Structure 1
Amino acid sequence: MAYYPTAEERLLKAFEMTNTAKYRRVQANIAAALSTLYSNMELNKKAIQYAKLNISLRSDTAQHYKAFLLLGNAYFKAGLYDSATIYINKSLSSTRYGIKASAYMRLAEVAKVQGDLDRSLTLTKKYTLYIDSLHLAKQSDDILIAEKEVAEQQYTNNLGYQNNKLYILIIVSVLLICIIGIIYAVLRKSQQKAHYIEQKQSLLEKEQQDLQQKYIQLKNELTQKEAEIASLQNNINQQINNEEKKKKLQQELDALTRERNALAKEALEHSEVYSKIERIINLSFASDLGHQL
């Protein structure tokens, strides 16, 4: 094949690059690939050489069986059937159906070449048996893989369902918290407003009581002033011939009238409802009295 030289060159280069203890396993795989390549190129000596290297580089016993089969194939293609039989028989200790099937197929070919047709037929039957077992095992693996995929899908679906439930629960919880927060804020605002109104009402009632008391006090003082004015008016009326004393009394009367008017105004200002207070201020009283005098 045209690509064989290129493949050989690259594999040999890779083999040299991995020529350290750290890469023994990788180098063993490269040696196996080179052995297969040389077998296909019908370079049997090199195929045997790298098949042996493949065995020597393997530390895993399970991998030795495949390496034995590879070396047995190399000997078979080189026409060294006895050596081929020895190494192929070693590979039969493997538990892998694929290796056993390949080994029995190659042993059947060796027996056929050597003219032992009965043995070849027996080995061919074993080959067929292991091929069937391999197919059954593969089917079992496929079933297991399918069951695993179904289980994983069910788990994923269940996980998704649980996640959706969790998301819904979180959203509902957040909404409930928001609603409770709003209700609490409204109730607190209502309570604050009610408390404010209560305080305001209490303050207004106190102010109303203070105004009422002040109003009563002023009204009493106003009544007293009116009595003083009436008494003074009588004195003025009695002083018909004494103009000087009458004039002095009139001045006192005017002063008392002004005091009474001031008290009346203040009483009005301290009244609870202006419209319900009888007007006790007769601003023209002093003027009328002055005209009478």
Structure 2
Amino acid sequence: MKTTVLAMLLLASCILAACTRSSPNIQLVQADSLIQKFPDSALHFLQGIQPKGLHLAADRAYYALLLTQVKDKNFIHQTEDSLIRIAVQYYDSTKNTAMQARAHYYLGCIWRNKDDHPEALKEFFKAITYSKRIFDNSLTGHIYNNIAYLYYLQRLNEQADSIYQITEKLAILEKDSILWADALSQRGMINIRKGRECYQKAEEKILHAFNISCNMNQRSMIAKTAYSLSLLYGRMNMGEKAVEFAKLNINNQDNSNALDKAYLVLGDAYYKISQYDSASIYLNKSLHSEDHYTKAGAYMRLADIAKKQGLLEKALEMERKYSSYLDSAQQKQQSAEIVTAEKNILIQRKQSEFKANLDQVYYYIAIGIVIFLTLFLALWKRHKKEVINFKRKEIEINKQTEELLQQKNEQINFLQKEIALHNYSQTEKQILEEELYTLKTERQALLKESYEHSEVYVKMKRIIQSYKKTDKSSEYFDEEDWRQLIAETDIRWNNITIRLATKYPLSQDEIHLCCLYLTDIPTSHFRYIMECSRDAIYKKTKKILEQKMKYTNKSMSLRDILEKLL
């Protein structure tokens, strides 16, 4: 019974742990799934969620983002940024790149609604940085679309058109027909601004966008493209077509904020076909707009109508208002600020890239140092092992050589005694002497081998090789090395230096030179060991021969004389 109860308690704990939520609130996820296709339903759904009931910071941030996003989709004009900043601050602190992209994008949209285009631009560029990291082409396309629109509003037509082209490519890549239609329509509007020579291009692009919108049955985009076509046909003095598309714009308009411009373009279309009463009705409706360009456009047309109707005082009043609103609109122009903001953003981006590259350089330097040290340690250990093995082999070889030398010396001594003590026949003596000669030759070979494996001889070879390669050496012969050379020479040549010192008044330096002459090292290399010129070696040799040994026969070399003494 106890076991059953314990098992049930354990199962309950596991279920409780599994139910402890680490993923987003399920209601918020459902709302997120509705936003794209059913933004009005998503708004109603989110409004039914009580923010006070969201206890986790993650849920509050998600809710703030979704509510801002869904209001934007429903064309609700938002200028208050306190809500979206909850999302921005949270996602910036958690480094959630995907959500950072969305949060900064919608913060940019609010700055756009507040007509602070430089600040909007800053947020849009931040959002692009994050969206590119996660390869979200759809969001990147919409951000570019907004950036291009800001440039368009500030009449920076070339910059706007180049970015709309990027938006087009991303829209085609993502098969986002609505975004594609929007970019095409805006590019057509830019061509309208360029003048009559670009009207045909404008018509092609806007009609293409209009057809896409109709095929998708997307009312807001039908309204937008119809507005552009009405404006274009009005410029082309095709008044009937201008009226047709202006009405289509109003009939499909979901965004109440855009109705004022729709009334202006319809009023302008009626003006073009001389229906001044209808024109005046819609032009006056458009005066409710808060946009100064819209009001300026309406007053300009109303002034024209008043002139045609002979109402000069009214026309003058309309013209004054037209001038006033046009001045106000131009004063609000932020082109310079936009360009400055863009430059600052580029500078910041370059600085960030430089810092990132610098960090990367530091990283690679650190990795390089680690790899270098690892290789160095590995090679040093290998070298040390090789040196140890070499020295061990040298010791073994020297030991074997010494043992062989000892054996040869014992054999030589034995044979010498045998020859001296016993009366052998001439033939037997000759055999023993030949054997003795062979033993002496073998002993001399062993002595030579031992000599050439000595540390001092190996060091001489290293110094000479270094001079031959680089004309310098980090090693040199010190007093201890000379003493060692004399000792090795005496071992090999039966105490030759002692006999030389006894027979001739040679200096220590001259003894050193004689030791070098008894090696197989070329005379031209003596200067590397003795650290003097070849001429100095020649003079010392001549002095030993002529002054110390009293040899005047120039055919005899010091090497020849030393070999005679061996």
* TM over 0.5, shorter chain: yes
> Deviations 1:50-72 (Å, cap 9, x if unpaired)?
32122102222232222111111
Aligned residue for 1:260? none
* Amino acid aligned to 1:134: A
Structure 2: tracts of 5 or more residues without a match: 1-195, 425-566
Aligned to 2:278: 83
Residue 95 of structure 1 aligns with which residue? 290
SS in 1 for 2:262: helix
CA offsets per residue over residues 193-234 of structure 1, 9 Å max, x none? 34325644775798799x6xxxxxxxxxxxxxxxxxxxxxxx
Task: Name the structure, 1 or 2, with higher relative contact order (CA <8 Å, separation 6+).
Answer: 1
| Contact 2:220–2:255 (Cα < 8 Å) also in 1 | no
| Counterpart in the other structure of 1:109 | 304
1:68 maps to 263
- Output aligned runs, 1:35-46, within 5 Å: 35-36=230-231, 39=234, 44=239, 46=241
- Secondary structure at the aligned position of 2:290 is classed as coil
CA distance in 2 between partners of 1:102 and 1:89 (Å) = 11
Report SS of the residue matched to 2:406. Answer: coil
* Matches of 1:187 and 1:16, distance apart in 2: 75
Distance 2:398 2:373 in 1: 37
Q: Does 1:125 align with 2:320?
A: yes
Aligned pair count reads: 226
Helix, strand or coil: the match of 2:253?
Answer: coil
Q: Which residue of 2 aligns with 1:158?
A: 351
Tell me the alpha carbon deviations over residues 4-25 of structure 1, each in whole angstroms, 9 at most, x when there is no partner.
99x9999889867754452434
- Report the equivalent of 2:342: 149
Q: CA deviation at 1:108?
A: 1.9
Q: Which amino acid aligns with 2:406?
A: E
CA-CA distance at 1:172 after TM superposition: 3.9
Q: How far 1:43 moved relative to its partner?
A: 6.1
- What is the match of residue 279 of structure 1? 413
What TM-score, normalized to structure 1? 0.58
Consecutive aligned runs of 4 or more in structure 1 exceeding 6 Å deviation: 7-17, 204-209
Whole-Å separation in 1 of the counterparts to 2:267 and 2:207: 22
Are 1:191 and 2:384 counterparts?
yes
Distance in 2, Cα, partners of 1:124 & 1:29: 29
2:246 aligns with one of 51, 54, 63: 51
Q: Does 1:22 align with 2:217?
A: yes
Change (3 A) 1:17 1:157: closer
Offset of 1:157 from its aligned partner? 3.3
**Counterpart-to-counterpart distance in 2, 1:10 and 1:279:** 116
Larger Rg: 1
The two structures, once aligned, show a CA RMSD in angstroms of 4.3
Following superposition, the deviation at residue 81 of structure 1 comes to: 3.0
Q: 2:239 touches 2:273 (CA, 8 Å); kept in 1? A: yes
Structure 2 letter corresponding to 1:272: Q
**Partner Cα separation in structure 2 for residue 42 and residue 191 of structure 1:** 94
Following the alignment from structure 1 to structure 2, what is the Cα–Cα distance between the partners of residues 165 and 9? 48
